[in-house]
Chains A and B, each alone.
Chain A
Amino acid sequence: MSAPLDLPRWADTVLVPALSVVAAFLVAGLVVLGIGENPLSATRYLLQGSLGTGEGLGFTLFYMTDFIFVGLAVAVAYHAGLFNIGGEGQATLAGLGVALVVNNLTFLPGFLLIPLGILGAAAFGAAWAAVPGYLQAKRGSHIVITTIMFNWLASVLIVYLLVNVLREPQSMNPETRAFPDQARIPFVHEVLGAIGIEIPASQLNLTLVLALAASYFVWLLIYRSRLGYAIRVVGSNPSAAVYAGISPARITIIAMLLSGALAGGLAVNELMGYQHRLLLEFTSGYGFVGIAVALMGRAHPVGIILASLLFGILYQGGAELAFEQPAITRDMVVVIGGIIILFAGALDGLFRRAVAHLFARQKLARA
């Protein structure tokens, strides 16, 4: 008998993560103080740069779109008891899928080409995740190891393809030619401008809507559908799954397919929504941020949206901060992000335990 770690839902989903963020900012503030800068003004730049201007907000939401997709990808696998660290590689391959579809079907109109591009991303992401999934399910090769290896494979594969196969002959850059115009997902400022609402230009595009729709879909899948039920049984109690006649191997592969497809959303946002071509390293390590996002969001879509917003603020505000206070370099911003990941992910149990203890005591006092 150990002290029960039971929390009211609001404390579990709001209070504990909020405490983690506050603690992380306090520690990050100490770090800023340590290099002789003012943490308060740093915080101001961070918030001002990410939320204070229309343009900044646009960029924040653009990053948030990326993080929602990779966060959902990690979460779906997590519910099946799998730790998918391969979001980076799956998104890279999804980018290849997008490029192959839209640059080869240029004769199609936009309302066909855009959905096909998105499907291409999902299919390639899923396929890249399917191999580690299969190896885990059938051969017991640990998914953490294989997905990491597949990140490297994806990274060298894309370099090879962009340098030797897909590059335009007259270009020196390792990138494909620009996507056809009708394959570009419209920017939000363009769409709103068309109906007379003027907002500052930014990279933010309609993929955000897709990300929110995907969040709803994942919620429905995981918490309401028969398949999601089976996924959670496998993740929570594999021997009960065997008893129930649910095949853990089959669910492992399905969960990885879904996970890889969701990671493909990153490619949709970055390539179809902004870059309009396939280029090297467009994933920028966001696949790994997805792990922190999913952890912090407790693998629940609502939590993931909130955590994605936080990381969006951090990325956009951090860039502004590095610009305004040169002593705080890009690397320092990464350190601050790392501290948040540390508190939200690894040290999450610390606050959970303390809060649970507090609640138990209060209950006892009332009884």
Chain B
Amino acid sequence: MDAFKIFIVEDDVFYGEMLRHYLALNPDNEVHLFKTGEECLKNLYRAPAMISLDYSLPDMSGLDVMRQIKKEHSDIPVVIVSGQEDISTAVALLREGAYDYFVKDDDVKERLWNVLKKIRENVQLRSEISYLKEEIGRKYEFRNVIKGNSPTIKQIFGLIEKSIKTNISVSITGETGTGKELVAKAIHYNSKRAKKPFVAINVSAVPRDLIESEMFGHEKGAFTGAVTRKIGKFEQASGGTIFLDEIGEMDLNMQAKLLRVIQERELTRVGGNELINIDVRLIVATNRNLADEVQKGNFREDLYYRLLGLPIELPPLRYRGNDIILLAKYFVDEFCKENKMKKLSITESAQQKLMGYHFPGNVRELRAIIELAAVLTDTEQIDESHISFNSADAAGNLLMEESSLAEYTRKIISYYLQKYNNNVLLVAKKLEIGKSTIYRMIKEKQI
């Protein structure tokens, strides 16, 4: 850990030396003593973690020194240690941003030690937060988030790189499980807004009656149950990015309100009158085709064009070829690392089985399949017996297998009979075939 740098600004040689000696009793502290305000200001480049400042200095007042410090380094805590017992002086200094104010009396020793402890804790917390933010940034470095070598994924990398250089709105489309939120986070944490919040809201998960309050906040008493003021997601994301997932599910009334907020860059909390300026970057995602929804009258055209910005369409996993194996290997390695297991390999037959599947749940489903396989195996290999597909989309699966037309027919009719509770008449109607065909196949025990 770096030394905790403390500046003491004290013109009384004896008192200054005594404070220096006292604070240096903790070997983690690096204490520097200055006799004038000017000397202190000249040395600010050394970035002290705290400044103990006497109010009465020979060259300038403590207030002037503090103002200069705050002008250049607003985050350095300045503690006034003074012989001034005048309360109005203390109040004025605290109002100007002094961290604390002590009179040089019997308690100064304990108070200084306590305030130092508090500042050290704050500095440590700030450094931890900064470290964690960097960690998150590294975690969401987009090439760590989106794995793949397929041409479609390389195109996506190019679009993400373009999106992080500007503040343009981004609309992400793709089937469920393709990683829309991960892409949104990758854009945020690699952009200039990375140190500000990333706030996500799933529009479809919030009841219609509450969505406005959730997004824009509400004032106390705005509606039954609004017992306190609530800050909405847009305000929480101030300076950062708001991610509106499943935007296609938003009703028309709310779409009109969202459009107004985006256009005016200001909002009013539910039940409030105050206009609040907002500075957020917008990223939206949907698994619907919004252009189609506009045609159908379910989505406002003006909002659609506002949100479209830079469109990124995430491809379904089944169209990403060898990325399936690359991702499978990545997930198995991650799982083994997280669970402190020996490294596992994926056999050729297991890889073939994965490549033959159509993954309706996309990357999310692949991850679940791989993690289950890693748990099921008793060896250091995952083979095809450990790979099990539980997709409800059996028809989709069916088409991934190479079969004869007769076999496809048999499987399709079996699937429909199961689905419609063996109602032959209904199945025949659905498949537009004669009921006698189905009865014949049953009689011949084909199904």
Are the chains A and B members of one assembly? no
